[in-house]
Structure 1
Amino acid sequence: MFDLIQEILKGDEKNNLEQFVNLLRQLEKKYLLRNEILNSFHDYCQKQENYDHLYHSSDLSKLVYFTQEIILDTESLCLVVRPQIATQQAYRLLEDFTVEAISIQELLNLRDRLVNRYHPQEGEVLKIDFQPFYDYSPVIRDPKNIGKGVAFLNRYLSSKLFDDSRQWQDALFNFLRLHRYNDAQLLINERIQTQQQLSNCVKRALILLGKYPADTAYKNFCTELQNLGFEPGWGNTAHRVQETLEMLDQLIDSPDHQVLEDFISRIPMIFRILLVSPHGWFGQEGVLGRPDTGGQVVYILDQVKGLEKQIQDNIKLSGLDVLNIEPKVIVLTRLIPNSEDTTCHQRLEKIYDTDNAWILRVPFREYNPQITQNWISRFEIWPYLETFAIDAEQELLEQLQGKPDLIVGNYSDGNLVAFLLARRMNVTQCIIAHALEKSKYLFSNLYWQDLEDKYHFSLQFTADLIAMNGANFIVSSTYQEIVGTQDSVGQYESYQSFTMPDLYHVLSGIELFSPKFNIVPPGVNEDVYFPYSRIEGRNLSDRSRLENLLFTLEDATQVFGKLADPSKRPLFSMARLDRIKNLTGLAECFGKSKELQERCNLILIAGKLKSEDSTDHEEISEIEKLYQIIDQYDLHGKIRWLGVRLSKDDSGEVYRVIGDHQGIFVQPALFEAFGLTILEAMISGLPTFATRFGGPLEIIQDQINGFYINPTDHTEMAEIILKFISKCDQNPNYWNEISQRSQERVYSNYTWKIHTNRLLSLAKIYSFWNYISKEQREELLRYTESLFHLIYKPRAKMLLEKHMHRH
């Protein structure tokens, strides 16, 4: 990019650059983001004679396109440029229009100065830099391969096995000897003492297995294998055991990355799993739509069922059913004594439709019973998480009858607790962010002090840095969750470098090219969400009841709005009423379009109807805003707003009832990390229109099995929906075509079986990597712990003291 800037300064476009900079200096803002820069450049170019060349093909237009930020200082202008995904550079353009590259540290100082938080006379702030810890570990080179960490790691490990065969084969041999279940030794017994013996015994076992028919059950030859040194775990039939041992034989003789992945994925090492999700109301009924409680509960409960089923299948395939192994999955969450009408006060609750999966609730310590007896916002729970982890550890060991084999954290708070527990118990740890608040709240790090009383971002962002660096591996739902797109910065990418003025500077917060990142999209519960056209599984009485609720029921406690013409095509959306979900934006789009109002009814399922029934400030604000929009655009008779909490089964049937009416699902979020409701709508057969900001870009293929919308452009949004409706009018089968393609998209890419199989495979491979690289990781973990003790804990203590003074 430096060369491109120099070309502009030396050529004919220097004058254009000077004029454009002068235009920017006339603006009130000193800090411009990408959209503002692009809009300002467009305004400038429109006034020039050579508009087409300047705006579309000039060097200056290329520079503007790659510029993420412009900071206007008194004597210079700073350009923050993103020449490619996951890469950032900064340049200072001086008054005489010479240019110089500036370091990350200089850029962070400049940002501090912009908000009057730069105090060099008082000394420097703490610098956080994780980069040295990644310098000695393998990193991905090509940005396109970010998120494919395990594939890269397998290639790396297999090359090590090949290049340094003795050391790495010894490591593989010792890793195989580790595995036990309670008192039972798995895989290899004491008859095999060395890697060379293992190689010889594998070849003898393969000769032995060749004498048996492929479908011979393991119990019929287990004694002969034990005499050779092999315990249960290799397979349940002669063919399966033979396949697994052939993989091992190949790894010993000529390692291959795909064989390594297939082999490690078969090793029986995961029987007990812990999932951590402390915030919100975690329950199976009556919790959805409550503050801080939504898609993550659905996600985790479905994931639990998928994991249990997959582990059971793996146990059977491994031949371990002879040991009567019973897997166990626990969701660790917070116990809420004042649980209102939920089960969140119950210590232990069995998860429906599972054999041995449980919700374990542990209370926050009662520093102040008036606070800790109640639900606490996710922005306020930080002071309780360390003691929560300490208290939970003993209960978990008792419930699981041993340590978990894998810990999965969810959201910033759950990920921090997962880190603390994994560190205490020395267990492989995975984190799933779902959504990182830093990218949701603009300038949240720069103005953190102004927002601290409300959001406590200093604690949250520090917790994020600790968890993402401490994790063995990170699961994201989409590629852009990690590194965004060509046009936008990813959620994890936003942690690469940033300032928390007067607190710390992050020079390198996360290595985006680390193989710890893996894309594993969630699935959708196919027992609950299935096509509207499938008669089997649909209950006629439920269908009738929900049809009445959606279109005609008059009940002021549950429904606002009576439809003048219930036969119009329904535009449907279902989400929490908060700013990011943007249901008020959808209502405003509907209100601005007379044609949409003529063709459709708007039906919203969205939390509460009355602001006095809510304690969440964002929800209260959105409730009031929705009423204002309804009055402003006179939407009476055209909108139904349901303030209900649906059971899971009812939510599945609601989509299908909308499908019966050839309706449309609209997901208008300002940003969506993934979008489970999109999967639910698509598998139900609803043509789906979803935000182009975030995960939906990777779920939907635009105009093939769904449609992208820009939720900030109401006119364009209405036009895209109306264009679809017009096509349906012209071709009565068009709605069905999109409906069918949306179902196919979900079934081929987004099932829980695909997800859980991949997650367990990752856990095994990273356990192997963790075993052979333990010394390298220890330095990183100690640095990470220092952030916890020196920054997180003192700030959490300050917040706790504030809570103690609340009455």
Structure 2
Amino acid sequence: MSDLIQAVLDSEEKHDLRSFLSELSQQEKRYWLRNDILNVYNEYCAQYQTSQQFSTSSSLGKLIYYTQEIIQDGSSFCFIVRPKIASQEVYRLTADLSVEPMTVQELLDLRDRFVNRFHPNEGDLLELDFGPFYDYSPIIRDPKNIGKGVQFLNRYLSSKLFQDPKQWLEGLFVFLSLHQYNGVQLLINNRIQSQKQLSEQVKKAIAFVSDRPSEEPYEEFRFQLQTMGFEPGWGNTATRVRETLSILDELIDSPDPQTLEAFISRIPMIFRIVLVSPHGWFGQEGVLGRPDTGGQVVYLLDQAKSLEKQLQEDAILAGLEGLNVEPKVIILTRLIPNSDGTLCSQRLEKIYGTENAWILRVPFREFNPNVTQNWISRFEIWPYLETYAIDAEKELLAEFQGRPDLIVGNYSDGNLVAFLLSRRLGVTQCIIAHAFEKSKYLFSNLYWQDLEDKYHFSIQFTADLLAMNAANFIISSTYQEIVGTPDSVGQYESYKCFTMPDLYHVVNGIELFSPKFNVVPPGVNENYFFPYTRTQDRIESDRQRIEEMLFTLEDSAHIFGKLDDPGKRPLLSIARLDRIKNLTGLAECFGQSKELQEHCNLILVAGKLRVEESGDNEEREEIVKLYRIIEQYNLQGKIRWLGVRLSKTDSGELYRVIADHQGIFVQPALFEAFGLTILEAMISGLPTFATQFGGPLEIIQDQINGFYINPTNLEETATKILNFVNKCDQNPNYWYEISQRSIDRVYSTYTWKIHTHKLLSLARIYGFWNFISKENREDLLRYIEALFYLIYKPRAQQLLEQHQYR
């Protein structure tokens, strides 16, 4: 029995619970989500004039707070209770308050019956259960340690291995002897024949380099070290070599997890990386206007540049300059023949500002040229990914002149291709989801059949399950992306247990407590986005041009709205014009608040100005809605809408110009997986108000270096912004305080340098543990392959057949 339910039944509040269930039974709805439940409960409390204490702190109030869903089934109610993060309990309550627990299978059956009320499913459905494959893996116990997988793994496996020193040293010795670069031996050579000899020679080498001048280059004593059995890879100077060998010496004599991580992080074992983004429309110029590609392009280009730079630095520090080591990073994407004048039809494109980072474009095979010659929506590309992976493998092997050392998937499509490539090549695989469609679209799994023609969620959610379970490690931008918050379900958590009626039941889709999860937030590109106070790095002509564009330029083709008073404090928001980004909600919030209009102007940088210019249905709807709101609230003269595509240089200066005017950045998304524009605004020095739904909860510390808003509560949002504006008017230093704290927050946590250092450290450590623990994942991978061929592939084939007739 749930403690929460038992507490109610043991008190006088059981009468209130009975009354509350009676209220639910009188409603038209039969399925309530958390917000619905809270609304009904608040109405109940208002109707019966209960005390504030009863509403929030009573046993019933606590039960309601932790209840995620309620489903009415005849005269009984199914309560899905989430008493703590990553935990779910299911109970059936009857009108007379008898309670019985329900199994996951019973819950999924009930959800199916709710959808198929008039055509109930006959017979059992396929059940997907990944749980048994995690039985042989270590599992994190404390929910607060979810997302710190590598720290847990180090502690767990270290303690296990260190109990058997002989096995540990033998594994370490073999691991060190394996490393090569282009056929050249690294770290140790065949003069060291055993782990015992390794221990002896390390001490001799430490004594030798300790007598050398600290900054003496490695090449000057390379020969002496080689005669002792040590090849390049230990360091570029005598000091660095001594440090690395000393860490190894400590690891051999008295191993502990911290020393192990410090040592493995120095090992030169990654030189070639693939970042997979097959969706396409990926380039460095002219591609950001296409729906759902902009953020992906910016993120991956920044990541590729930072990774190449870090790999180069690591190679130099390891003393590999004499070997002409050239780390290489490839962004693998799709070649699109009809590329609208962009370079998306070019096979190979060097990434600006790099020495050896490239965009490699591989075309989809030509099943129907009317489709495959053109850009294909992310919802439609699934039939082409298997053959794409086969073709991409050949191209990558040719470009690298060998296998890559690490494959990183991005988004659902990229993660599936990363799995297929990793399986074929035997390479460590990492996935980064960024955002799952399953979390964006309410009831998307339950009503998948109604949405299938448009979104093909049956294929996509299957791909997500396969990729996340196949990955060696998973990177998320935030903790709550994995397991949410005390009152919201995480994106990965939503895959734990769900049904797709008439297709399959997922009784255990992912182990949330697996150490494969690691929180590694992305960074902000400091070349383009930096504080407005760094005037020496700003170009005056750019500043004047952006100033004019924001406030006074008349350009009917790209700008809507002339400001009556350009001197008012600007509220800025930058996003795509789609429903989830909710710019229309911000405009309505501004329109409803006369006081906000008195103090501020609203400036939106958002996509297209005209319906006929957009090829995206959702964007067209939002354009129409935005014009309607401007008309409804008579916002002419108070709002300015820029339908422009900005370069990163201009974007950075735009934030800074708004900061020059002591402006505010508002991010009003209904849900935001992470929030790169938030980082860009904060590092520029803009006080930022951002949605409380999603990643911004972890970026911003509320009222310290920014503010949370509930974008569904327009009045509350307006009040929060007004309170800040009034505080700034009363105390001019307040704006500067929040501005500086915003800048400090980004520099301390959200730079690409921090991101890539952590990513490469993870890749090395997971690679090491995969080797040393000899974990056999073949049963899991065979299960995933079976699901790929039995579920994914037939459905993808059906979609391909539809494409043949376009």
Q: CA deviation at 1:50?
A: 4.5
Contact 2:478 2:698 in 1 (8 A): yes
Alignment correspondent of 1:106: 106
Contact 2:277 2:331 in 1 (8 A): yes
Alignment correspondent of 2:518: 518
Over aligned residues, Cα RMSD in angstroms?
Answer: 1.4
SS of 2:678 mapped into structure 1: helix
SS of 2:654 mapped into structure 1: helix
Contact 1:279 1:292 in 2 (8 A): no
Task: Write the letter of the residue equivalent to 1:125.
Answer: L
Alignment correspondent of 2:780: 780
Q: CA deviation at 1:734?
A: 1.5
CA distance in 1, matches of 2:7, 2:161: 48
Which stretch of the first structure deviates more once superposed, 385-394 or 773-782? 773-782
Q: CA deviation at 1:3?
A: 3.6
SS of 1:122 mapped into structure 2: coil
Q: CA deviation at 1:776?
A: 2.4
Alignment correspondent of 1:533: 533
Alignment correspondent of 2:397: 397
Alignment of 1:124 with 2:115, yes or no, is: no
Q: Give CA deviations for 1:509-566 in whole Å, capped at 9, x if unaligned.
A: 1111000000111111111001112112212222222222111221221111111221
CA distance in 2, matches of 1:55, 1:211: 73
Alignment correspondent of 2:323: 323
Alignment correspondent of 1:234: 234
Q: CA deviation at 1:595?
A: 1.2
Alignment correspondent of 1:97: 97
Contact 1:287 1:645 in 2 (8 A): no
CA distance in 2, matches of 1:35, 1:615: 34
Alignment correspondent of 1:553: 553
Alignment correspondent of 2:73: 73
Alignment correspondent of 1:13: 13
Alignment of 1:339-488 (within 5 A): 339-488=339-488
Alignment correspondent of 2:491: 491
Contact 1:285 1:342 in 2 (8 A): yes
CA distance in 2, matches of 1:10, 1:708: 38
Contact 1:70 1:77 in 2 (8 A): yes
Q: CA deviation at 1:123?
A: 2.1
SS of 2:396 mapped into structure 1: helix
SS of 2:239 mapped into structure 1: helix
Alignment correspondent of 1:46: 46
SS of 1:434 mapped into structure 2: coil
Alignment correspondent of 1:754: 754
Q: CA deviation at 1:75?
A: 2.9
Alignment correspondent of 1:213: 213
Contact 1:161 1:255 in 2 (8 A): no
Contact 2:276 2:331 in 1 (8 A): yes
SS of 1:453 mapped into structure 2: helix
Alignment correspondent of 2:181: 181
Task: Write the letter of the residue equivalent to 1:486.
Answer: P
Alignment correspondent of 1:204: 204
Task: Write the letter of the residue equivalent to 1:409.
Answer: G
Which stretch of the first structure deviates more once superposed, 115-124 or 155-164? 115-124
Q: CA deviation at 1:431?
A: 0.5
Which stretch of the first structure deviates more once superposed, 146-155 or 116-125? 116-125
CA distance in 1, matches of 2:699, 2:116: 42
Alignment of 1:268 with 2:279, yes or no, is: no
Alignment of 1:135-154 (within 5 A): 135-154=135-154
Q: Give CA deviations for 1:221-241 in whole Å, capped at 9, x if unaligned.
A: 211211121111011112211
Alignment correspondent of 1:312: 312
Q: CA deviation at 1:47?
A: 3.0
SS of 1:580 mapped into structure 2: helix
Contact 2:150 2:762 in 1 (8 A): yes
Alignment correspondent of 2:257: 257
SS of 1:430 mapped into structure 2: strand
Contact 2:335 2:364 in 1 (8 A): yes
SS of 1:734 mapped into structure 2: helix
Alignment correspondent of 2:700: 700
Alignment of 1:722 with 2:722, yes or no, is: yes
Q: CA deviation at 1:601?
A: 1.1
Which stretch of the first structure deviates more once superposed, 547-556 or 6-15? 6-15
CA distance in 1, matches of 2:557, 2:252: 69
Contact 1:281 1:292 in 2 (8 A): no
CA distance in 1, matches of 2:31, 2:280: 35
CA distance in 2, matches of 1:428, 1:701: 35
CA distance in 2, matches of 1:581, 1:553: 26
Q: Give CA deviations for 1:45-66 in whole Å, capped at 9, x if unaligned.
A: 2233542342233211121111
Alignment correspondent of 1:677: 677
Alignment correspondent of 1:656: 656
CA distance in 2, matches of 1:160, 1:780: 23
Task: Write the letter of the residue equivalent to 2:447.
Answer: Y
CA distance in 2, matches of 1:801, 1:615: 24
Task: Write the letter of the residue equivalent to 2:485.
Answer: T
Q: CA deviation at 1:216?
A: 2.1
Task: Write the letter of the residue equivalent to 1:500.
Answer: M
CA distance in 1, matches of 2:54, 2:346: 66
Q: Give CA deviations for 1:228-269 in whole Å, capped at 9, x if unaligned.
A: 211110111122112111222222222111001010101000
Contact 2:21 2:95 in 1 (8 A): no
Q: Give CA deviations for 1:475-504 in whole Å, capped at 9, x if unaligned.
A: 111111111100100000101100011111
CA distance in 1, matches of 2:99, 2:143: 28
Alignment correspondent of 1:740: 740
Q: CA deviation at 1:169?
A: 2.2
Alignment correspondent of 2:587: 587
SS of 1:274 mapped into structure 2: strand
Contact 1:213 1:238 in 2 (8 A): yes
Which stretch of the first structure deviates more once superposed, 638-647 or 539-548? 539-548
Q: CA deviation at 1:285?
A: 1.6
Q: CA deviation at 1:628?
A: 1.0
Task: Write the letter of the residue equivalent to 2:612.
Answer: E
Task: Write the letter of the residue equivalent to 1:590.
Answer: F
Task: Write the letter of the residue equivalent to 2:471.
Answer: A
Contact 1:117 1:501 in 2 (8 A): no
Task: Write the letter of the residue equivalent to 2:708.
Answer: Y
SS of 1:422 mapped into structure 2: helix
CA distance in 2, matches of 1:468, 1:570: 42
SS of 2:21 mapped into structure 1: helix
CA distance in 2, matches of 1:35, 1:220: 69
CA distance in 1, matches of 2:710, 2:50: 30
CA distance in 2, matches of 1:50, 1:637: 46
Stretches of structure 1 lacking an aligned partner (at least 5 in a row): none
SS of 1:133 mapped into structure 2: helix
SS of 2:581 mapped into structure 1: coil
CA distance in 1, matches of 2:684, 2:449: 45
SS of 2:780 mapped into structure 1: helix
Q: CA deviation at 1:113?
A: 0.6
Alignment correspondent of 2:26: 26
Q: CA deviation at 1:624?
A: 1.1
Q: CA deviation at 1:193?
A: 2.1
Contact 2:20 2:41 in 1 (8 A): yes
Task: Write the letter of the residue equivalent to 1:575.
Answer: A
CA distance in 2, matches of 1:604, 1:304: 30
